[in-house]
Structures are given as C-alpha cells and as structure tokens.
Structure 1
C-alpha cells in the first residue's frame, strides 16, 4: 500500500477517505448503473461493508431524481446512510467517458461517496474541496488518461485537495435568482411576481448591491388602506375598489414605495448554521447571501432543508 502524504494542517485531506486500492482505472464500455454497482462491490469487499444492494438502490434513486454530475466531466454519486460509522470514497476513471445523463457530455472522473446520515455537511465539504479541480476544464480527462491508481492518488495528494473546516453559506446558495432594480416600477414588480411565480424579489442598485426586497404581501398592504384592515367584514367591497388606484398608477409608481430594508441575510463565508439562525430571527423563508453588500446568491427554505437533511 502506498504511503499517504500527511493531510494539510488546516483541514482534512480528501485522500484520508480512500487509498490506492479504492481507485479503479479505465472503466470503459460500462453503464452508469453498472459502474455504481461495481464501485460499491469493490468498497464492500475491501472494507467489509454489508447491505450494498440497499446502498445501490439509494444511489441510483438519487441519480434518477437529480443527477450528481457537477461540472467538467466529474460526477459524485453518493448516499447518506444510517448503518455507516465513517465515510467511504471510491474513485473511478474512464478515458472514453460514461453517460450519466442523456444529452449531456460523458463523465471521466467519478467519486462514489458513502456518508453517515448524521454528518449532513460532509458531502458539501467534499464538493467544495474539489473547487481547484473543477476550475480546470480538462482535469477529469487528464486524470482519466493516467495509467495507474498510484498516479491518480498522487494527483489528488499533489493538488492539496483538502476539506474546508465547515460548510458555509456559499455551499448552500443558488446562484440563479431574479432581481429588480431600485428604479423599476411597481408594474415591473407585479409582472415579475406573476410571471416568475415569486412572492419575494430582491432589489439591487446599479452595482449589484442589495438595497431591500419587495414582497407580494406588502403590495397587498399598499392596495388596502390601513383603515380597511381594521374592518372585520370587507364583504361590502365587492369590486376590488381599493386596488383601482394602484392599477391606475402602477406604471408611474416606483418599487421604493413598497421596499423593505429589513431582510434575512448572511455573508458568503458565514457558517451555514448562520442561515438557519437568520431565517429564524427574521421569520423568513429566504435568506440572501452577500459579499459585503453585493448579492451573490439566495437560500430558500426548501434548498436549505434539502442540503442539510437529504443531499
């Protein structure tokens, strides 16, 4: 067995979860599911792991629901399991590539990860540890061209692939989000609420710095004068009369009229647990991730729950 280099002092090395014998090279002319079963059997034989049929079903079910191809020819099929006491990783390469998802390029580097269910952040830490590898578009093909497990092990050791000390907000956030400009009209906001099926939209200035949010619920408060909210019976108002003024002026009313400057937010490098704390503090279902004041991403409650409890 090849001696491993010591992990970096500031974090746990990814290679602490596997060694040369856990690496399978040149896996050609094989399907995704065949490879997953092959990797699982290899781990089971090497580490006396039992119950791999259930593990296989769990991994394939996850792949079918939401594939784990992350970028540039790399896939990380994984499962969080009750029976495990520690993580296991197995690595496979394929020069030809293996199809994981229809109509997408094949993958060349595969890391199968088995994680104890009570370690929710570990998969995200492993994912972030591969950031340096993901930055190189050709890394997966380069690794797949290596002709020995020892060379592949050296690739990971030489690259200093180290798990971060904690899961941060950046690991949870979605980078795909809709924004409004601070000079947009109320009409634009209403159209956006309807077309994007949103109830809350962040508002940014010209530099991308977040200045507040607009909420569909707050729009209703604008439409309904405060005195109406004191009425217990609004049945006499049968033709939406309170909305007429908004309808007449929505093109010339700025969203600043309904802008809220109190919203749940964290900094991009804050620990992920801060997201839960901020959502709870603000009684919010969305938390905005900022780099100083610039909006970098959003974390809504379903994203948070999925990342922590299921992914």
Structure 2
C-alpha cells in the first residue's frame, strides 16, 4: 500500500490580512512559512530557494490568477516528497498581473506538489473556482478572523473530498457581448480585435441564441453551389468577398449566426468537455446554466488550465 504523503497545511500556513507590496513579496512570505512548518523535512536535498525559484518560474511561464480576486501560484517539483499549501488573505488587493482592476487579487492559495501528481493542482484549482463562485463561501473567506476555521474549511474540501474538475472550474468568462441586432461590421471588428474565430450571440439576459464563426463570414459571399464543388481551379479569378461587401452593411448578427452551437452544462465533467472538443471536433464549447451562457472553453483553455498546469 502506498504511503500517504506528508501534508504541510494548518492554521500556521494561513495568513490573514497581511500587507505586501507585490506578488513576489507575497510568494516569498508564503514559501517561507511552508518551509518553516517542515515542508523540506522529507526533502533534505531541496532548499527553500529552490522551492521559491520553482514557484517564480511557473509564474513567469504563465499567470496563475484565476479571476474574481483569486490566484493559485504553484510549483510541481520532480521527486518532491509531500504536499505543501499556504493560504493568504490580503489586507489590500494587489495587482497580480496587468494594470487594471480585473487583475486585482485578494485571496491567494500557494501549492507545492510532486511533479508526478498534477491532479492535486487541478483539484485545488477546482476548489478555488467554486469558492469564488459561491457568494456565501467568498463572504466567509473575506470576514473570518480565525485561521483554524479557514484551515478546517480548506482541508476538508481539498484533502478529504474527491473533487471532480467540472466545466465551471476551468471555463473562461466571455470576452465580448454580441446581440442579435448588432451590425455585422461591428461584430467582425470585435472578432478581429480579440482574435476570435467565433462569437456567441446572446440576449441581454445571457440566453444563448447561436454563434457567428469565420466560416459563416467567409461563405457569406459565395454562391450556394460552391459547397458541392471539389475544386475551384477553373474559376481562380473569382473574388470570394465581392458579394460579402455588398451584403455586409445591411446585415445584422441574427442574419449570419447559426444555431449549430456546442454547449455543455456548467456541471459537465472534464471528460464530457474533452469529448465535445476532441471526439466531436468542436473548436469551442459554450458553458450554459439554465440556457444562459456563463463561460466558454476552447482548446487553448484546456492547454493552459489542464495540460500545462
């Protein structure tokens, strides 16, 4: 039987209302607390500086802010023995990445795990995502003054429960809002500005109506019979956008969108998401709750938040 890994996490690694200048100072403090609590006891060949360097390297490779004021810095260290976790609630939010309010962070969970056990990072990421989406839990984290209570809550959810990663845990918020009466030139400008191959068309309340893809746009100026051709070499001089520009100024989003949209509920499992993306070859799936779009998952989302974690 495999020996249970040593877990370094307690009220002593919960830091409440600490004041820091930036995320680097915060990460140094959190790594220091973990090491002071015995993180390196089963790892005599690893130093505190090596752990710190591993966390910093991960931050430099990819921003670990999850959104809604929460960040998940972490390190996966080859051959590392045990698991270390620290939680910090900041007295004042800090700019974690970027310069606007969307990157302000007030709650940080730092994790150090063996490289061979990425599931622990995924599990914690799922927990953090649910915490910020649950107003009651978020309010508890904002107001609680007892480190023991925070430690018990987090320990129970992370180390005692079998947490599945769900669609709502890894989805990204929508980048743009497209209404059915939006003029087509405005839609294409948004798609170009945000480098999107497709956008959802929704009602003001978030109800998903359909989507507009680059394929929809490219085919707008082509005659219907083109879909039956095997080659266009005999009409190479045909301008595929001549008819498009004749129509563009008069078209609205509803005139171009298609209702053929891949969706998953927000409680869909990771397997169900991957099935839609890989097996059914959908480049993107929209996450819905009660018929309303609440997020989106594409292949890059899975790369960033699952495979490259």
TM-score between both structures, scaled by the size of structure 1: 0.73
Q: Which residue does 1:232 correspond to in 2?
A: 232
Q: Please state how far the C-alpha of 1:247 moved relative to its aligned partner.
A: 1.3
Aligned-partner Cα distance in 2 for 1:124–1:157:
18
Q: Does the aligned pair in 1 maintain the 2:20–2:26 contact within 8 Å? A: no
Equivalence map 1:164-175=2 (5 Å): 165-175=163-173
**Residues 1:106 and 1:35: Cα distance change in structure 2 (over 3 Å):** farther
Instruction: Give 1:135 deviation, angstroms.
Output: 2.4
For these two proteins, the number of residue pairs brought into alignment is 286
Instruction: Give yes or no for contact 2:19–2:90 (8 Å, CA) kept in 1.
Output: yes
Contact 2:126 2:166 in 1 (8 A): no
1:19 deviates by 2.5
* Mean CA deviation greater in 24-33 or 166-175: 24-33
Distance 2:141 2:85 in 1: 19
Q: CA shift at 1:77, angstroms?
A: 2.4
The correspondence for 2:176, drawn from 178, 194, 198, is 178
Match of 1:275 in 2: 273
Deviation for aligned residue 1:278: 1.1
| CA 156–102 in structure 1, closer or farther in 2 if over 3 Å, else same | same
Pairing partner for 2:52 from 53, 56, 61: 56
CA RMSD of aligned residues (A): 3.8
Q: CA deviation at 1:139?
A: 4.2
CA shift for structure 1 position 286: 1.1
| Residue 8 (structure 1) aligns with | none
Residue 122 of structure 1 is matched in structure 2 by 123
Q: Give the CA deviation at 1:58.
A: 2.0
Match of 2:148 in 1: 153
Instruction: Give the direction of change, closer, same or farther, for the CA distance of 1:249–1:34 in structure 2 (3 Å limit).
Output: closer
In the alignment, the residues of structure 2 paired with residue 24 and residue 176 of structure 1 have an alpha-carbon distance, to the nearest angstrom, of: 33
Q: Indicate if the aligned counterparts of 2:31 and 2:51 stay in contact, CA closer than 8 A.
A: no
Q: Give the structure 2 partner of residue 3 of structure 1.
A: none
**Equivalences for 1:239-278 in 2 at 5 Å?**
240=239, 242-278=240-276
CA deviation profile, 1:180-220 (whole Å, cap 9, x unmatched): 22233433333333333221111123442112111111222
SS of residue paired to 1:135: helix
What is the CA–CA distance in structure 2 between the aligned matches of 1:196 and 1:162, rounded to whole Å?
Answer: 36
Structure 1, unaligned runs of 5 or more: 1-15
Q: Post-superposition shift, 1:297? A: 0.6
SS at the partner of 1:252? coil
Query: Does the alignment pair 1:83 with 2:74?
Result: no
Native 8 Å contact 1:55 1:79 kept in 2 = yes
CA distance in 1, matches of 2:185, 2:246: 10
- Does the residue aligned with 2:173 lie in a helix, a strand or coil? coil
Which stretch shows the higher mean deviation, 211-220 or 185-194? Answer: 185-194
Residues 243 and 109 of structure 1, relative CA distance in 2, 3 Å threshold: closer
**Structure 2 residue aligned with 1:288:** 286
SS of the residue corresponding to residue 121 of structure 1 reads helix
Q: Does 1:135 align with 2:129?
A: no
State the TM-score, normalized to the length of structure 2: 0.73
Structure 2: unaligned runs, 5 residues or longer: 1-6
Change (3 A) 1:187 1:93: closer
